[in-house]
Amino acid sequence: MLSNSSKTHEAFFASTANELTGPINKKYYGIKEYFSLKKINKQLNDENAQLRNLLKTNFEVPDSSVITQKDTLLKDTLNQYRKYTYMPARVVGNTISSNTNYLMLERGSKQGVEKNMSVVSPQGVVGIVVEVSENYCRVMSLLHKNTRISAMLKKNKSMGDVEWNGEDPHFVTMRKVSKSANVIVGDTVVTSTYSSNFPSNIMIGKVVQVKPDVSTSFNNVTVKTATDFFNIQYVYIIKNIYYHEQEKLLNKRTHE
């Protein structure tokens, strides 16, 4: 009655009600926002995949010295043909405690996944697809004793191979790096142009230690991984459209 009959009392009661309900509403929407993060993360992941598919590095210019036959590959307005396609996937399983670690992704052959496709996180390299079912695939993690990835130093393109020694999941080793490469702590390590699985210049990590091998002309370089393997929720599976062609020629050369 006081509120209805007096503007002063109305303002007072409204202010008091806001003071009481404000914290409650804040907590309610905070809880609601928390439980909507999963949906938001998926939306962001799908959007990032669309943006990655537009990157110039996913296209290659055809050789203009020969006649190019029209095919079904997508190409942009500069007549560059797509080489890589990014497909988002949700991580439903991941191990880091053994020396043979794998991830399980919720995307399989029905969604376009094939063996030997590369997998990356928004931060960097994750691994390679080794098994595929209709709706799931298994990925051999970078943290696996048999994983070997062709890598290079971003600053000078010096080559090496990245592998894991089975100890700390935060670090991998880049081997066969020439001592003349002048590697220093803080240098960036990325995938090389030699890989048929990964596009070049995908982040692997940062150099944290350089240790010369006294018996050879190489350095052993310790690299902190860009990907946090303790907290992976969404990744991208990358399809190299020319993968089988590259591997066919490589295997032919190997057997000759």
Residue 14 lies in a domain: yes
User: What's the rounded Cα separation, in Å, for the pair 65 and 34?
Assistant: 56
User: What's the rounded Cα separation, in Å, for the pair 203 and 185?
Assistant: 16
Residue 216 lies in a domain: yes
The residue among 234, 250, 236, 225 whose CA lies nearest residue 58 is 236
User: What CATH code is carried by the domain that includes residue 196?
Assistant: 2.40.10.350
Q: Which two tokens stand for residue 91?
A: 């991580």
The residue among 183, 184, 189, 162 whose CA lies nearest residue 174 is 162
pTM: 0.74
pLDDT, tens digit, for every residue of 39-77?
A: 667 767 777 777 777 776 666 654 443 333 344 455 666
Residue 206 lies in a domain: yes
Residue 165 lies in a domain: yes
Residue 27 lies in a domain: yes
Unique residue bearing structure tokens 């002048």: 182
What is the model's pLDDT at position 26? 46
What is the model's pLDDT at position 206? 98
What is the model's pLDDT at position 14? 45
What is the model's pLDDT at position 184? 94
Instruction: Count structural domains, the chain.
Output: 2
Residue 76 lies in a domain: no
Residue 24 lies in a domain: yes
Residue 174 lies in a domain: yes
The neighbour count for residue 192, using CB atoms within 10 Å, is 22
- Domain assignment of residue 24, given as a range: 2-35
What is the model's pLDDT at position 49? 78
List per-residue pLDDT tens for the chain, 256 residues long: 545 555 454 444 444 544 444 455 445 445 545 555 666 677 677 777 777 777 766 666 544 433 333 444 556 666 677 788 999 999 999 999 999 999 999 999 999 999 999 999 999 999 999 999 999 999 999 999 999 999 999 999 999 999 999 999 999 999 999 999 999 999 999 999 998 899 999 999 999 999 998 888 899 999 999 999 999 999 999 999 888 888 888 777 655 5
Query: Does residue 120 contact residue 126 with C-beta atoms inside 8 Å?
Result: yes
CA angle, corner 40, sides to 38 and 46, nearest 5? 105
